[in-house]
Amino acid sequence: MSLALVGLFWLQPHAHAVAVLQQGGFHASNAAHSLFIPARSPQPTGEPPLASLNTLLPPRQPMAPYFETAKSFADVPITVDGVDTATFLLASTDFVNMFDLLGGGVFAFVQNDLRSNITGVKHRYEVAPAESPTLEKLVTNECNGAAAGERHGTACLVRLLRGLWFTCEALRNMQQDRNAELHTCFKRSFDVNLKPNLPFLIRPVVAVAIRAVPHRQDFYARITQGGSHEKFDNELTKWLAGLEVIVLRLKAFLVEGGYGRV
């Protein structure tokens, strides 16, 4: 389009200017497309419309239940130097988080204690990672020449193992006694593993909290998230067996070294 036509477009009344431009082969609709909208080939008549985005994307796969993706205690490496610290902390965290599926803070009395002690052990690991590749080395390094009050990581590990063992024994009791309700299984484990180590005033509080755990059927329904109950039981058996190996190993190590008693 010549400069004369541009000037004419702005100086003449609008209708007259449009007519002049059209006589020169210029159309306003074409200008809008050429100036502001990227050119696109029109859809040929008679052909099917462009495929929608949903047909181009692969179908969404259902999310796997939490217990299938969480780190298992059965997968925590154990060498001659001891139990791998980082993997143990990950497995412990995933194990505790699993109980979030029950909702409503049902296992809050257990989770809060476990999480607090996981944080304590993790802090010690992060302070001296090179000296803490295994839980045994973490303890010996922290306790070497340190006063009893300065062994926070070790004290947290003792309490963490105690809480994990209590939970382990309760869930194992649940598997072995198919007719028992969940609160009964936790009460049995509490009386044997946790109650002797708790202050007298705290014991009735925990006992009341145990009564609030869900029914056995509700527990399985929420934890499995629609997955196979049998598969969950099989995985849980592996988790608890792996945890037992770790706890028994560390219980002996802590007692022999005078570091604490689970």
Q: Using alpha carbons, list the distances in angstroms from residue 4 to 9, 13, 16, 24, 229.
A: 9, 15, 15, 11, 82
pLDDT given for residue 262 in this prediction = 92
pLDDT reading at 62 higher than 50: yes
What is the percentage of the chain residues whose pLDDT exceeds 70? 73
pLDDT for 209-259, tens place per residue? 888 888 999 999 999 998 899 999 999 999 999 999 999 999 999 999 999
Residue predicted with more confidence, 170 or 211: 170
pLDDT given for residue 166 in this prediction = 94
pLDDT given for residue 126 in this prediction = 96
Q: Contact 155/261 with Cβ under 8 angstroms?
A: no
pLDDT reading at 18 higher than 50: no
Q: Contact 132/125 with Cβ under 8 angstroms?
A: yes
Indicate the range of 9-13, 47-51, 165-169, 195-199 predicted with least confidence. Answer: 9-13
Q: Contact 162/180 with Cβ under 8 angstroms?
A: no
Residue predicted with more confidence, 23 or 131: 131
- What residues contact 237, with CB distance under 8 A and at least 6 apart? 175
Give the mean model confidence (pLDDT) for residues 160-166: 96
Average pLDDT, the chain: 82
Q: Contact 65/227 with Cβ under 8 angstroms?
A: yes
What is the percentage of the chain residues whose pLDDT exceeds 90? 56
pLDDT reading at 22 higher than 60: no
Give the mean model confidence (pLDDT) for residues 169-190: 94
pLDDT given for residue 103 in this prediction = 78
pLDDT reading at 1 higher than 70: no
Q: Using alpha carbons, list the distances in angstroms from residue 240 to 48, 91, 193, 233.
A: 58, 12, 15, 10
pLDDT reading at 25 higher than 60: no
pLDDT reading at 7 higher than 80: no
**Confidence band, pLDDT 50/70/90 cuts, at residue 14:** very low
- What residues contact 60, with CB distance under 8 A and at least 6 apart? none
Q: Contact 216/231 with Cβ under 8 angstroms?
A: no
Indicate the range of 24-28, 75-79, 229-233, 243-247 predicted with least confidence. Answer: 24-28
Give CA angle at 133 (149, 193), nearest 5°.
55
pLDDT for 31-45, tens place per residue? 444 434 444 444 555
pLDDT given for residue 45 in this prediction = 53
